Structure 1
Amino acid sequence: MGHLLHLQILDISENDLRGNIPSTIFNISTLQVIDLLDNSLSNSIPMVMCHKLPRLEFLYLGINHFTGQIPTSLCQCKSLRSIFLWQNNFTGSIPRDIGCLSKLQYLSIGSNRLIDTVPPSLGNLSRLEVLGLGDNNLWGQIPQQLAHLSNIKILNIAANNLSGEIPQVIFNISSVIHLSFQINGLSGHVPELTGLWHPNLEKLFLHNNQLSGKIPDSLSNASKLTILELSNNFFSGSVPMTLGNLQLLLTLNLGRNQLTNKPVGTEIQFLTTLTQCRVLENLVIDSNPLNGTLPDSIGNLSTSLQRFHIQDSQIRGRLPTTVGNLRNLMQLQLFNNDLTGTIPSSIGDLYRLQGLSLFEYGLEGRVSTKGDVYSYGIMLMEMLTRKKPTDEMFVGGSSLRQWVKSSFPGLLVEVVDSNLLMREQPTEYLLHCLSSIMELALQCSSEFLAERPNMKDVVVRLRKIKQQFLLSNNVTVLQIQS
């Protein structure tokens, strides 16, 4: 391959190539693109790889099994605009002089085994838009110099062993859209800043650190924020009432902190302000000493809300009947609180509910069995398809139930787990049995409460399906024997 003296683009990505790559590739001085993405290539990259590649602009080696160190000669590839080394087995340090690549716009070297500190020279990459260092073994503090990345849009240094405070100047970068600092040992406060606070920020991940102090009110100035993850830290004080201004918010996770409610024992008012977040899907505030009551206004939370976790938070008083307004709720976690009174019958209207935890407090009453049966229908589909409602394929408004329904009954074999079919040509009796169970699952998970059977009817029908299947199998055996 080294004899292809005029080659400009080498693209052999997304194959099943194995073994070593010929070192002669790095002698082709005309190369502008090397794309070996998504193979099973191994061995190390020559430390002198850039000695003869002055025109190289794109280096894509990600999703392979490369080992050894990242070549220290990278600075000699002065035309580089994009480096993608993600998901390999590179070890050692990030080249300390990597900041010399003045044209670099994209640097992704996450999901490797890199060690040492984050090089301050990265701050010299003034054109950089994406910096991915996550899921390595980097230690030390975040360099102040990263604040010089004036064009950065995605900054990911998650899942390392970083410590110390997040430099305040990082929060002054106006171009950033996505900040991922989670799963480190970072400490200190998130600063309260005046004026614009990340006007373009859409996703902020700070969870699983050791951050403390108050959640800054100025966070609400990040008006484009869709995901705010602050869980598993030591944040204290009250939850800012201004979070309701984040009208594009999809996920708010404040769980497992030391957040409180003042005055103690009163309604948790910040929940009322969150009713302004009309597209909110996930609200997690569990394991905080909130010590208050749930306001009736929780029924005015987003109709898109799917997950509401407030367990283990010293919640007292009654569970408002308005919770039944949250018609798209799939998970409601209330356990280990001090709630009293009766369980509202309106919970039975939550037809999509798949997870309901009400144990360990003094609630009385019964939940509608037709509400319960929805979860059972979904569970049947999970068992028959070996899929989960949370799988990535069910995005953009699609769901496990819709996928099954669109294939029922004619294309049932395409959605049923192949392990259940047992053979290349499943018997008519087996297909009839699976079809009957899937039909029952669809009825149990109907969006309309009146169309769902009660649990007693479900048991009767399952027994009948079982008896018919066993009888059919016995007839088949007798036919074969005769």
Structure 2
Amino acid sequence: MGIFNISGLRLIDLTDITLSGTLPSNIGSMLPNIELLYLAGLTNLAGSMPYSLSNCSKLTVLDLSLNKLSGSIPNSLGDLTLLETLNLVENNLSSDQSSQELSFLTSLTNCRNLKELSLSFNSLNGMLPASVGNLSTSLEKIFASDCQIKGGIPNDIGNLSILIYLYLNGNSLTGPKPETLGSLGRLQELSLANNRLKGSIGDSLCKLQNLGSIYLGENQFSGLIPKCLGNVTSLRGIELNSNRLSSNIPSSLGNLKDLLELDLSSNDMSGSLPAEIGNLKAAIRIDLFHNQFSNGIPREIGEMQNLVHLSLAQNKLQGSIPDSIGSILSLEFLNLSNNNLSGSIPMSL
């Protein structure tokens, strides 16, 4: 046997080494038995993804992340029926330009074992097809941040019943948030931030009793924060900043005893700050900057003993600064500017 015969290799891991050039066009015939292929973070791996990759029919992991690959993602990847992980993060890959939709996603519906799909930081420049709902019933993770994805989020995405992570932030998504997201009962993290989504947040997210983080900031959501969100006691982070939300903070959010971060800044919310905000005793960051909140600062705010960052700036708050704020010994950042506060600064501060 020649020492350069690599056809029997099942695992190749060349992650983070100094290697440049392109992937061989006949890589599929060179590595017919490859199962795990890690070629992430090479110094200067450029060129396109060879169509012959589809001949590596035993592949379960394909990691080409953190390279300089360009061209379209081949639809032939759908022939890798044993594929469990596809990681193409941080390249300059696109979709087939003959279609407005991300056609390679339709081809991946043949990969019935797919668990992780990572596409973030590419130039996909297309729309999510309805067929995204036909992806593997094993799919747990979708990472597609900053990919120039446009159009709406298909209702069919609600078919991905065991999805745990869904990251579509930093794209150009439009239209309403599909109510079918409420069917993703195992979802733990949802990020749709920094898009152009509009309409109401709706009650559908309240069905997600395993949800740990919601990132919906920098969109065009309007209306109310649903009261039932206070029933999702698994929540650790809520970011709804830079939208068009109105009305007040539901007192029910005080039920979220394990909440660490609440960011409602840069909206059009009004009314009094609820006394129940003091129940958020695990919180380390509360940001209510640039709203229309009025009346006084509740003294219960001093019960949040873990608070590090508190911003109530640019509101219409009145009255004195409660002494209780001075008892928050962990506090490092406090901004109360541009309000109608009066009286003296408490000695406790």
Kept after mapping to 2: 8 A contact 1:126/1:148: no
What CA distance in whole angstroms lies between the structure 1 residues aligned with 2:315 and 2:301?
A: 17
What CA distance in whole angstroms lies between the structure 2 residues aligned with 1:315 and 1:161?
A: 36
As a proportion of its length, which structure holds more strand?
2
What CA distance in whole angstroms lies between the structure 2 residues aligned with 1:255 and 1:215?
A: 13
Kept after mapping to 1: 8 A contact 2:201/2:221: yes
Q: How do residues 251-290 of structure 1 correspond to structure 2 at under 5 angstroms?
A: 251-261=237-247, 268-270=248-250, 272-290=251-269
SS in 1 for 2:70: coil
Q: How do residues 326-475 of structure 1 correspond to structure 2 at under 5 angstroms?
A: 326-367=304-345, 371=349
Of 151, 155, 160, the match for 1:168: 155
What CA distance in whole angstroms lies between the structure 2 residues aligned with 1:361 and 1:48?
A: 67
Q: How do residues 72-87 of structure 1 correspond to structure 2 at under 5 angstroms?
A: 72-87=51-66
Of 164, 176, 187, the match for 1:177: 164
Matched with 2:119 is 133
Of 7, 17, 25, the match for 1:39: 17
Matched with 2:99 is none
Q: Does 1:312 align with 2:299?
A: no
What CA distance in whole angstroms lies between the structure 2 residues aligned with 1:50 and 1:312?
A: 56
Matched with 2:278 is 299
Q: How do residues 218-233 of structure 1 correspond to structure 2 at under 5 angstroms?
A: 218-233=204-219
The Cα offsets for residues 5-54 of structure 1, whole Å up to 9 and x where unpaired, read as: xxxxxxxxxxxxxxxxxxx6xx5110000110122322111111111321
What CA distance in whole angstroms lies between the structure 2 residues aligned with 1:46 and 1:367?
A: 70
Greater Rg, structure 1 or structure 2? 1
Shift of 1:176: 0.3
What CA distance in whole angstroms lies between the structure 2 residues aligned with 1:57 and 1:314?
A: 57
The Cα offsets for residues 69-107 of structure 1, whole Å up to 9 and x where unpaired, read as: 112111110000000111111111111211110000000
Q: Does 1:102 align with 2:65?
A: no
Q: TM-score, normalised by structure 1?
A: 0.68
Where structure 2 has 5 or more consecutive residues not aligned to the other structure, the ranges are 97-101
Aligned AA (1:254): L
Of 217, 223, 228, the match for 2:203: 217
Q: Does 1:159 align with 2:159?
A: no
Identical amino acids, percent of aligned pairs: 34
Aligned residues: 340
SS in 1 for 2:229: helix
SS in 1 for 2:71: coil
SS in 2 for 1:114: strand
Q: Which has the higher contact order (CA 8 A, sep 6+)?
A: 2
What CA distance in whole angstroms lies between the structure 1 residues aligned with 2:341 and 2:118?
A: 48
What is the root-mean-square deviation in Å for CA atoms of aligned residues? 1.6
Kept after mapping to 2: 8 A contact 1:347/1:367: no
What CA distance in whole angstroms lies between the structure 1 residues aligned with 2:83 and 2:239?
A: 34
Aligned AA (2:91): N
Aligned AA (2:80): L
After the TM superposition, list the runs of 4 or more consecutive aligned residues in structure 1 that deviate by more than 6 angstroms: none
Q: 1:87 to 1:367 in 2, by over 3 A?
A: farther
